[in-house]
């Protein structure tokens, strides 16, 4: 399995042989759904919190006597059926949304998503990105050049969530140059996960020889 490597000017500079274990995995929608849903659930902070009747201030005194008034019986003005009362079955910040995902499942889901992206022509391999200084203007130039010169990547600089750049190691110039662009994200190959791949339309793998080796060793 071979794929073309481009430079940041959109010119072909070589080819790379891709491992079948990473980019030739059979599609498994159930696995991707389970893993992505679990990862999204694990990201939930659970900060929403409603007070129940025991936490709302006031309401300690019985509103009126039990019998003889002709009105319904009530023991507290902070009951959920009262205005200003507690909330029944509301969101609680002590709820645990964590779901367990095995390393093998996360790894296989990532490879499944990458294989699908490659099959649909949505993965671009770049031999490298050179950013002499931190400039968003330079990052926009790279995107517009690639979208204009590489076939199939015309939407690279226009669509929402256009591309996720996978770099082999941390590069402050590249990361900060793309940071102000809302439709692009940058991350290291060792931290790539299935949500990154599914969220963005295109995946741009920089320095593919090194990045693919790192992906192959992913936990």
pLDDT at position 1 = 82
Distances (CA, A) of 215 to 11, 18, 105, 194: 25, 11, 15, 12
Domain assignments of the chain as residue spans, ordered by start: 2-44+101-216, 46-96
- pLDDT tens for 89-101 read 999 988 888 899 9
Q: Identify the burial level of 2 via C-beta atoms within 10 angstroms of its C-beta, where 0-12 means exposed, 13-18 middle and 19 or more buried.
A: exposed
pLDDT at position 219 = 52
- pLDDT tens for 56-65 read 998 888 999 9
Whole-model pTM: value is 0.81
Under a CB-based contact definition with an 8 Å cutoff, are residues 25 and 115 in contact? yes
Helix axes 103-119, 29-42, angle to 10 degrees: 120
Q: Token digits for 142?
A: 């790279």
Section 19-39 average pLDDT = 95
pLDDT confidence bin for 182, thresholds 50/70/90: confident
Which CATH number is correct for 2-44+101-216, 3.30.200.20, 3.40.1370.10, 1.10.3720.10, 1.20.1580.10? 3.40.1370.10
């Amino acid at each position: 399995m071979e794929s073309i490597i481009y430079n940041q000017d959109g010119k072909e500079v070589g080819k790379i042989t891709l491992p079948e274990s990473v980019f030739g995995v059979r599609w498994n929608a159930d696995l991707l759904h389970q893993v992505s849903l679990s990862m999204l659930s694990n990201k939930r902070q659970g900060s929403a919190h409603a007070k129940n009747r025991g936490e709302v201030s006031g309401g300690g005194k019985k509103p009126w006597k039990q019998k003889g008034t002709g009105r319904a019986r009530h023991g507290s003005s902070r009951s959920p059926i009262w205005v200003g009362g507690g909330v029944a079955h509301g969101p609680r910040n002590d709820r645990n949304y964590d779901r367990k995902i095995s390393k093998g499942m996360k790894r296989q889901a990532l490879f499944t998503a990458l294989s699908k992206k490659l099959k649909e022509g949505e993965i671009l391999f770049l031999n490298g990105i050179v950013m002499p200084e931190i400039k968003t203007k330079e990052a926009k130039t790279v995107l517009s050049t690639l979208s204009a010169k590489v076939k199939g990547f015309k939407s690279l600089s226009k669509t929402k969530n256009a591309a996720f750049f996978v770099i082999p190691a941390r590069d402050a110039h590249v990361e900060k140059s793309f940071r102000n662009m809302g439709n692009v994200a940058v991350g290291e190959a060792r931290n790539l996960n299935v949500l990154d791949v599914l969220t963005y339309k295109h995946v741009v793998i920089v320095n593919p020889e090194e990045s693919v080796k790192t992906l192959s060793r992913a936990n």
